[in-house]
Structure 1
C-alpha cells in the first residue's frame, strides 16, 4: 500500500474500514490496487480539508465510470432485448443511468456509509445527498474498471443493476405490449388477447392480475396497481416465455 493510501486508510474510522471490507466481500470482489478503492470513496470535501496531503478525490474516476457504465448497460440491453428499436434502447438506457436510478443502486449497497467526507459535508448530511451517492457509484465502477477491466465491472453489475432491469424496475419506460406484439407478428404466431383475471384490495390500493393469451392459451400473467400496469407485466412475462421457446 502506498503512503497516500496508508495515510488515507488511517483517517478512515474503524467502522468505515469494516464496512468497506464487508461490502467487497458481499460482491465477491477484491481490489488489486487498494489506492483505487480508497480513491473511489474519497469525496472532494475531504481532499479540500487536507490540502497539505497529496490526495486525489473520486471526480476523475466518476468521469471514467460514467462512460464505462453507459457502455456496459448498452451492451446488456442490446443482447437482452433484440427486438427493441434504437430509440427504445436509448430511452431505457437513459432511465437506468440517470441520477435517481444510480442513487437507488448506491443506497442498496450502503455507499453513503463508505464515503470519506470532510467535516463540513458530514455535518450537512452529505452521506444522503443524491448527487454524492450517484457520483460514488460511478466512481466505484471507474476504479473497478481500472483495477480489473470490464469483466469485473460486468460481475458487479450482474449483482446490483441487471437483475432490477430483468425484474421490471424500469417497466415505466418500456412498452412490453408493443414488443410482444412485434415478436408475435414477426413469427406469425397468431393473435394476442389480454384479460383481467382478478381485482383485489381496497379501492385506494387495488391490485389487478392480468393474463395475455396467444391463440387462446395463456403465455404470461402479471400484476399491477392499474389494469394497464398489470397487462404490461403480463406482456413482460410472455416475452420471457416466448424467448425461452425460441
Structure 2
C-alpha cells in the first residue's frame, strides 16, 4: 500500500501548491510593501532614539562628541546583537586612563599621604561598586544597549539595595560589573574623542565620580576591621566556611557566634557580610563602657552631646592655666584635643551617610562607636572631671 500512497501524496501536494501559489503571491504583493515600509519606519525610530540618547548622555557628562559613534559604542554591550561593535576596547582605555588620573590627583592633593594609604584610596574610587553607583546616579543603565534580560534584573536588584548603603557598602553588595564597564568605556570614549586630553577627560570623570572618596571617608574592609578590633581587645576570632553548602559564613568571637552572612553569587560578599555583622556585635558589646561615661552617657540630643564635650574641654583648659606644671594634665588635654578633632571628622562622616537626616540619638551612638576605635580614647580620653 505504501508503494502507491507515496507517489499519490507527492502529486497531490504539487497540484495544491501550483493551484494556490498565485493566491499566496497576491497576498504577499498586497502586504509586503507595508511590511517593508514599517520596517524602515522602525529603523528610523530606533535611529532617532539613539540620537536622542546621545544628546541626553552628552548633557549628563558635559561634553559634546566630535564622533558620536564613539559614545554609541561606549553604551553597547556584546550581547546587543551579533557582530556589534561593543564597548570592550573603550573600557580597556577608560580603565587605564581613570587609574592614572586618580593616581595623579591624589599624589598632588595629598602630598603627605604614604603609599600605604594612597593605594586603598585609589582603589575605593575606581572599584566596581563605586563606578556602578556612578552609573546609576547618572542613569547610564537606561541608555545601555544589551540583549540579556538577566542584566536588567541584576541592575534593578542593585538599585533596590543602594538606599541601605548611601556612600559605599565596602564589599557587602554585589555590584553588576556591566555598570562599572559603561562608566569606564564612557571615560575612554571621551579620552579618544578629545585627542587624548587628560584635562578634558578629568573634567568628565569628576562629574561622574562625585562624590570622590577622601581619606576621611575611607573605610576598612569588614574582615580586616573585625580582626584588627578583636586583636586590639584580645578577642579570638574563628570563621566557619559553609559557602559550598548553603552560601554562608559564620563568625565566632570568643566561641560565641556574632555574625552570619549569606550570598550565593559571590563567596567574598558572604564573608564580608558575616564579618560586618560580627564587627557591629563586638562594637556594641565594647561600647557599654562609653555609654556609662558621666558626660556623654546622659546626653539625649546631638546638641547636648557636642556642648558637653566642649564644656569638658574648656574646663580642663582653664585648669591647665592654674596647674601649668602638671604634665599629666597637659598630656590629657592634648589627648582630648586630638579626640575632638577626630570626633568632628566622624560626625561629618555620619552626617554624609545620612543625607536624609538621622535621629540625634543615632548620630550620638555612631559617633561613640567611631570614637571608641581611636587609640586616644583607650589611652585615657574620658569626658569626666580631672
Alpha-carbon offset, residue 26 of structure 1 = 3.0
Q: How does 1:213-224 map onto structure 2 within 5 Å?
A: 221-222=344-345, 223=347, 224=350
- Give the secondary structure class of the aligned counterpart of 2:82: coil
Distance 2:297 2:205 in 1: 36
Corresponding residue number in structure 2 for 1:50 = 82
Does structure 1 retain, via aligned residues, the 8 Å contact 2:54–2:68?
Answer: no
Deviation at 1:62, TM superposition (A): 0.9
Match of 1:161 among 204, 209, 220: 209
Partner residue in 1 for 2:180: 134
Change (3 A) 1:127 1:228: closer
Correspondence for 1:172 among 219, 224, 229: 219
Unaligned runs of 5+ in 2: 1-42, 156-174, 222-294, 314-332, 351-365, 374-386
> Any idea what the Cα deviations from partners look like across 1:67-97, whole Å, max 9, x if unmatched?
1110011011111111110111011111211
Q: 1:36 aligns with which of 29, 48, 70?
A: 70
Distance (whole Å) between structure 1 residues aligned to residue 178 and residue 45 of structure 2: 20
Counting helix residues as a fraction of each chain, which structure ranks higher?
2
List per-residue Cα deviations over 1:144-172 (Å, max 9, x = no partner): 1111121121101222325332495x421
The answer to whether the Cα contact below 8 Å between 1:41 and 1:58 also exists between their aligned partners in 2 is yes
Deviations along 1:21-78, whole A, 9 cap, x unmatched? 22311332111111111110010001xx333xxx310011111111111001101111
Q: Match of 1:172, SS?
A: coil
Report the TM-score, using the length of structure 1 for normalisation. 0.63
8 Å Cα contact 1:112/1:127 also seen in 2: no
Distance in structure 2 (CA, Å) of the matches to 1:163 and 1:124:
26
CA contact (8 A) 1:127 1:133 kept: no
Q: Which has the higher contact order (CA 8 A, sep 6+)?
A: 1
Question: What is the CA RMSD across the aligned residues, in angstroms?
Answer: 3.8
Q: Which runs of 5+ in 1 are unaligned?
A: 1-8, 175-194, 203-207, 233-246
Task: For 1:17 and 1:125, locate their aligned partners in 2 and report how far apart those are by CA, in whole Å.
Answer: 22
Q: Measured at CA, do residues 56 and 85 of structure 1 come closer, stay the same or move farther in structure 2, by a change above 3 Å?
A: same
Quick one: distance in 2 between partners of 1:198 and 1:86? 42
Aligned to 1:18: 52
Is the 8 Å Cα contact of residues 54 and 71 (structure 2) preserved in structure 1? no
Deviation, 1:117, is 1.2
Structure showing greater Rg: 2
Alignment: residue pair count:
191
Distance 2:44 2:127 in 1: 34
**Pair 1:167–1:25, CA change in 2 (3 A):** farther
Distance 1:39 1:167, change over 3 A: same
Q: Is the 8 A contact 2:131 2:209 kept in 1?
A: no
Where does 1:1-246 land on structure 2 (aligned, <5 Å)? 12=46, 14=48, 17-46=51-80, 49-51=81-83, 55-118=84-147, 121-122=148-149, 125=152, 128=155, 130-148=176-194, 149-161=197-209, 163-166=211-214, 170-173=217-220, 221-222=344-345, 223=347, 224=350, 225-229=366-370
Choose between structure 1 and 2: higher strand proportion: 1
